Homo-oligomer: A and B are copies of this chain.
Amino acid sequence: MELNSVKPNLQVEVGGVRLKNPALAASGTFGYGEEYAPWTDLGKIGGIVTKGLSWEPRLGNPTPRLAETPAGLLNAIGLQNVGVKRFLQTKLPALRNYDTAIIVNIFGHTEAEYITVARELSLAEGIAALELNISCPNVTQGGMQFGATPPSTYQIVSAVRQATHFPLWVKLSPNVADIAAIAEAAQAAGADALSLVNTFLGLAIDIRSRQPKLANITGGLSGPAIKPLALRMVWEVAKKVEIPVVGIGGICCAEDALEYIIAGAHAVEVGTANFIDPQAIPKIVAGIETYLLENGVADIHSLIGSLKLPEREV
């Protein structure tokens, strides 16, 4: 292994956003950034995707909201958030102090709410992109149905596209049969990038009480358990679309992130792993850099989508 002593390029551009490195914090797992400021160096993170934001503040679901599963975490937070007003007043200004890209994850119960949120945020400064959550499984009336079919995806993405000048990332649900078809619809509607995936719908039962372990009954599965499934979806989608894909699902270490990049992701978001180690993202960035150095890769772009397929025997 020849060590190339020149620092490899880790910068990527994802749907109109220049990222200093390809490892971001995933929405809902990093609060509004400030929560992790005492525990990690936010300046080393490629970008922070903030907790899903709706127009009004939301209380979220009753508790319990969390249940651990083998190598996984079921959550049904129910999109508790401070609402756009307080986000702009207190959260965004605090976050702007850090040298990292700020991507604001948004959702609504109706198309009109999505549009209002996008419009209002578009007046603010310091936001690098909006990430449209059309895929959260935990709100009964919200999100889910928008991302369930290609036409409904096309509809909501077009509507928000017209409401904002910010780069628009669209976050897809894995709870579909053909994610590539949804991805193509989002692209056709003007998405600048695709984030995939959100959590997988799951259930856990407490056999003593015979009740679901979550007050919301079902929840979204995240963590290492889902990595092979999410990675397969990123690979399928990256082959089909022109716009960049941001890979999400179970990424805990540099090796995991590199799998996604090799499968075709331009960047990755790290979620549940932050809970296990607040320094997961800086460690991933360092690990990617080491890998590039050790493999003599000068620019991370040479790695994106570089998966070698075996010749099939007949």
A62 at the interface (CB under 8 A from B): yes
CB 8 Å contact bits of A138-169 with B (1 = contact, 0 = none): 00000000001000000000000000000000
A225 at the interface (CB under 8 A from B): yes
Complex-state Cα separation, A173 to B310, whole angstroms: 26
Q: Contacts of A177 on B, CB cut-off 8 Å?
A: 148, 175-177
Q: Which of A31-39, A96-104, A122-130, A216-224 lies on the face that meets chain B?
A: A216-224
CB pair A307–B227 under 8 Å, yes or no, is no
Q: What residue of chain B has the Cβ atom nearest to residue A224's Cβ?
A: B70
A12 at the interface (CB under 8 A from B): no
Complex-state Cα separation, A227 to B192, whole angstroms: 35
- Give the contacting residue for A231; candidates B70, B148, B205, B310; CB below 8 A: B205
- Give the contacting residue for A309; candidates B69, B212, B309; CB below 8 A: B212
The 5 closest A-B pairs by CB, nearest first: A202-B228, A70-B224, A71-B71, A225-B225, A70-B71
CB within 8 Å of B: which A163-219 residues:
175-177, 200-205, 207, 209-212, 215, 217-218
Q: A218-B232, A221-B228, A232-B218 are in contact. Are A307 and B258 (CB under 8 A)?
A: no
CB 8 Å contact bits of A67-90 with B (1 = contact, 0 = none): 001111010000000000000000
